Amino acid sequence: MSQETEIISLKHLLTIESLSNQEVMGLIKRAQAFKEGASSRLSQTEPYYVANLFFENSTRTHKSFEVAERKLGIEVIPFEVSTSSINKGESLYDTVLTLSALGISACVIRHSEEEYYNELIQSPTIRSSIINGGDGSGQHPTQCLLDMMTIYEEFGSFDHLSIAIVGDINHSRVAKSNMQLLKRLGATLYFSGPEDWYTEEYSVYGEYLPLDDLLPKVDVIMLLRIQHERHHSDEVFSKESYHAHYGLTIERAKLLPKHGIIMHPAPVNRDVELADGLVESLQSRIVQQMTNGVFMRMAILEAILEGKVQ
């Protein structure tokens, strides 16, 4: 596949399973091309309008979409939930219906409701494309794709890689997107973390092991943020206890192979999921993940807007 000639066109981006392996690799190659300085293929004669609707807090996803949109020359239409008609009781559907009627080409949406997008894409009237910026504990396809880009940059392939996903798996939309795609791309998966935060449904993707047992086996360890906002208030645990039992401590990190890398979608709870001193260590790719987020989202936006003109 040539990154110079391959053109990926998408109507929406909602889940990772909606993408073929060819589309995934096309987006990775295009994001790499943007990182190396490639110009946008979008027509500069007609303006594109995009709105970012974030109903849950976000720094990396929200702001990297904004940077990606501005780098592509897209008109970013400001939208703040706190000052919108949502506060007058307007539904998500009617909000997107309005933005579509105003000529917004695409809406990037993060919402607490899983699969919020179904009624939007089934609408006979809404014409805006939908990019899922995270739906509850469902999926986070754009984070998944930037994670794949980061791994591909490091190893050049997914075949025969061993990858561990560790932590709050039940509540992580990143984990669910990543386990589906990594398995499909040929990686061997392991899981670890509190057993109460893991269910057997994930065993079709990989094996659950104690953290100390899997660390020497893996090329990549992907740590997950504890999603306090999705836990019941009666679940009590201390950050010190979590770090000691399930976190990547300085001592545990020594069990990783020398070529092994550390990833985390952030925000990081330092000294909980991993030791403070590992966040910016030589084996960490956490900052690179954040940087790659801009270029992957440029590739996604270009593919969506390319799809609008065909």
What residue numbers does the annotated binding site for carbamoyl phosphate cover? 60-61, 110, 140, 143, 266-267
Between CA 131 and CA 12 the distance in angstroms is: 6
Among 47, 44, 27, which residue's Cα sits nearest to residue 304? 27
Instruction: Provide the CA 33 distance to its chain's centre, in angstroms.
Output: 19
Q: How far is CA 19 from CA 53, 110, 192, 251, in A?
A: 23, 19, 27, 39
- What residue has token string 């997950």? 224
Cβ–Cβ < 8 Å for 259, 215: no
Per the annotation, where are the binding residues for L-aspartate?
88, 173, 225
Give the containing element (helix H, strand E) for 211: helix 211-214
Residue 183's Cα: distance from chain center in Å? 16
Q: Which residues are annotated as a binding site?
A: 60-61, 88, 110, 140, 143, 173, 225, 266-267
Question: Which among 78, 83, 71, 31 has a CA at the least distance from the CA of 50?
Answer: 78
Name the one residue in this structure whose structure tokens are 């836990």.
231
Contact 167, 226 (CB under 8 A): yes
d(CA 209, CA 202): 13
Closest CA to 268 of 209, 223, 215: 223
